[in-house]
Amino acid sequence: MKKVFTCKKFLILLLSALLFFLSACGTPEKAEKDLTGELTEYENTNEAPTSGGTLRLGFVGSKTLNPLNVKNQNNLYILNLIFDSLFQISPSDAVESNLCERYVISPDGLNYEFVIKKGIHFHNGVSLTANDVDATLAFLLAGDGAYKNKLSNIADHHSSGASVFVTLDKPVVNFTSLLDFPILSAADLTLGATEYVPNGTGRYKVQSYKVSKELFLTKNENYHKSFSPYISEIHVDFLKDNEAAVSMLENFQIDLLTSDVLNLSGYTPKRKLSSVSFANGLLTFIGFNNQNPALLSSKTRQALSMAIDRTSLLQATSVKYASVTDLPFPTSCFWYDSDSPFVSFDSDGAHKLLSDDGWQDSDGDGILDKTVYGEKIDLVLNILVNDESVTKKKIADFVNKSFDEIGVKSQIVSLPFADYQTLISERTFDVFVGQTQLTPNYDISFLVKTDENVCGISNERIDQALNALVLQESTTQKQSLFYELGEVLKTESQIAGLYIENRVLIFDPHLKGNITPSNSDIFYGIENWFISEH
């Protein structure tokens, strides 16, 4: 009989391609090892702030100054000092209004009206209008910059009066958290690259510019929010590449870089440097086949999740810059219920859950078994992993040993990525080690929503919460719905979060104050930074 390739199977294949990817990133040459240097985690000692000094930054590689065309994350962070967005994202991933006064969502979740604040001016004195926002959106969607993919669900947009109207091709969870792109003047969007000088509405403005050499920024005295920074001047050098940037940082010529530029794997700095970590959204997790007879019960899945000591896993796999989690959100996230108990390592508790769920070695063969739908089944699991990732293989080995410690027999199936991906898309697996990049709106539909996930998850409460999230304007209500999602995922354990990798801000120890970068803006709260020696 010929197999029929159904639309549903095609969807699962697409989803698995989204879920599991191989990442390759350029690695700068390692700095010469010098044990006199050290990288220490920054601790705010509440030293009395002082005003003055110049913050020195490095613009790496590309000399493109239009942020809508920039792909380099380091450079985007710098340019966002000059520009504002409709909404800004806090270090806890909360969504905060910026250039948007208010917004309204249609009952079907497809249409948005964003009312733009009045009385805001670009640095050249021209007033911000809804047309500028609409023109920026049109330019962004027509290009291939870093922000485009986040807005792929926009089907149409236009401006009228003080409002921008956006139509989506389908409802999107927490859509406003995707609207952190910089707003440019419509007139500036017609300028060529050689003519363009950044002109935003942001916290700092361009005081002078030497083409492809340096930018000098000063505080925007007419900023639309209360803004009284201790650091009023910023100098930006244009640097050839990552290696040059690292050298400049280590030789006291610039003050900070992110781990997008400086590869921290095995890195020892030439001098003392401080660091602050913040989640970058790259989630590593364990996926359970929820349709596997042995894994149908939430008690069994929860026992397997409890068997994993996540903190020890990071140590065993040498994953240094990451934070443990039991959900597909960081535990520091605004959408994570910190009052809800973490799924902690508990070997005894896992044993009890398995026993309560009916697992026992009834025939003395050393393997737990029970009867499901009238058929005796053994609790023997294959742990699927991509053999092209050394770290993922270490994780699989750790999980394998963890399962064994609670009496669950398992073995590792290590396959090339293409074969690994095929087994997941066809749902012919028991357990797999997965990794996916979470979007800033934390729409986890592709992971857990019925008929949209590869784990065979079907849960009415999850679906209801996700469906309600696309219609919510209230931050409080959205938070409650995310809390509901978290509660279901913890008690049902359809998947098991392990950790979320961190981006790291590395900086000169003379930078002090309340340094709390967000993944959207490393200079979030820069008005609370100061330079202790200048």
DSSP β-ladder status, 380-386 and 409-415: parallel
Asked whether the predicted pLDDT for residue 437 surpasses 70, the reply is yes
Separation CA 164–CA 417 (nearest Å): 43
Cα torsion 268, 269, 274, 280: sign? negative
pLDDT at 267: 85
Closest to 81 (Cα-Cα) out of 200, 209, 184: 200
Residue 277: Cβ within 10 Å count: 18
pLDDT at 307: 98
Asked whether the predicted pLDDT for residue 434 surpasses 70, the reply is yes
pLDDT at 16: 52
Asked whether the predicted pLDDT for residue 25 surpasses 60, the reply is no
Q: pLDDT-based confidence at 2, cuts 50/70/90?
A: very low
DSSP β-ladder status, 375-378 and 380-386: unpaired
More confident residue, 22 or 258: 258
Asked whether the predicted pLDDT for residue 133 surpasses 70, the reply is yes
pLDDT at 389: 93
Asked whether the predicted pLDDT for residue 332 surpasses 50, the reply is yes
Cα torsion 451, 455, 457, 462: sign? negative
pTM higher than 0.85, yes or no?
A: yes
- Contacts of 186 by beta carbon, 8 Å cutoff, 6+ apart: 129, 131, 132, 134, 135, 136
- Contacts of 144 by beta carbon, 8 Å cutoff, 6+ apart: none
| Average per-residue pLDDT for the chain | 92
CA distances to 73, 238, 239, 516 from 213, in Å: 19, 5, 8, 29
Q: What is the secondary structure of 290-308 as a DSSP string?
A: TTSGGG-SHHHHHHHHHT-
Give the residue-averaged pLDDT of 232-243.
96
Separation CA 94–CA 176 (nearest Å): 10
* Per-residue pLDDT tens digits for 170-181: 999 999 999 999
More confident residue, 92 or 21: 92
Separation CA 432–CA 491 (nearest Å): 20
Residue 339: Cβ within 10 Å count: 6
Separation CA 39–CA 28 (nearest Å): 18
Domains of the chain in sequence order: 43-273+508-531 (3.40.190.10), 279-503 (3.10.105.10)
pLDDT at 534: 56
Separation CA 47–CA 274 (nearest Å): 16
Q: pLDDT-based confidence at 192, cuts 50/70/90?
A: confident
- Count, residues in the chain: 534
* Per-residue pLDDT tens digits for 461-501: 999 999 999 999 999 999 999 999 999 999 999 999 999 99
Residue 210: Cβ within 10 Å count: 9
In degrees to the nearest 10, what's the CA dihedral of 331, 336, 338, 342? -60
Asked whether the predicted pLDDT for residue 246 surpasses 90, the reply is yes
Asked whether the predicted pLDDT for residue 34 surpasses 50, the reply is no
More confident residue, 266 or 458: 458
Asked whether the predicted pLDDT for residue 11 surpasses 90, the reply is no
Separation CA 292–CA 315 (nearest Å): 31
Asked whether the predicted pLDDT for residue 442 surpasses 90, the reply is yes
pLDDT at 260: 92
Asked whether the predicted pLDDT for residue 439 surpasses 50, the reply is yes
Residue 240: Cβ within 10 Å count: 9
pLDDT at 5: 40
pLDDT at 337: 97
Instruction: Measure CA 368 to chain center.
Output: 39
Give the residue-averaged pLDDT of 359-365.
95
- Contacts of 533 by beta carbon, 8 Å cutoff, 6+ apart: 53, 510
* Per-residue pLDDT tens digits for 492-520: 999 999 999 999 999 999 999 999 999 99
Asked whether the predicted pLDDT for residue 23 surpasses 50, the reply is no
Q: What is the secondary structure of 373-437 as a DSSP string?
A: TTEEEE-EEEEEEETT-HHHHHHHHHHHHHHHHTT-EEEEEEE-HHHHHHHHHTT--SEEEEEEE
Closest to 15 (Cα-Cα) out of 445, 329, 403, 319: 445
Q: Half-sphere exposure of 225 toward its Cβ, with a 13 Å CA cutoff?
A: 15
CA distances to 74, 333, 526 from 275, in Å: 16, 20, 16
Asked whether the predicted pLDDT for residue 30 surpasses 60, the reply is no
* Per-residue pLDDT tens digits for 60-99: 998 889 999 999 999 999 999 999 999 999 999 999 999 9
Asked whether the predicted pLDDT for residue 108 surpasses 70, the reply is yes
Separation CA 304–CA 325 (nearest Å): 15
Give percent above pLDDT 70 in the chain.
93
Q: pLDDT-based confidence at 399, cuts 50/70/90?
A: very high
pLDDT at 8: 47
Asked whether the predicted pLDDT for residue 13 surpasses 50, the reply is no
pLDDT at 316: 96
Q: What is the secondary structure of 84-108 as a DSSP string?
A: -BSEEE-TT--EEESSEEEEEE-TT
Instruction: Measure CA 185 to chain center.
Output: 28
Q: pLDDT-based confidence at 3, cuts 50/70/90?
A: very low
pLDDT at 36: 62
Separation CA 285–CA 433 (nearest Å): 6
Asked whether the predicted pLDDT for residue 35 surpasses 60, the reply is no
Q: pLDDT-based confidence at 262, cuts 50/70/90?
A: confident
Give the residue-averaged pLDDT of 126-147.
96
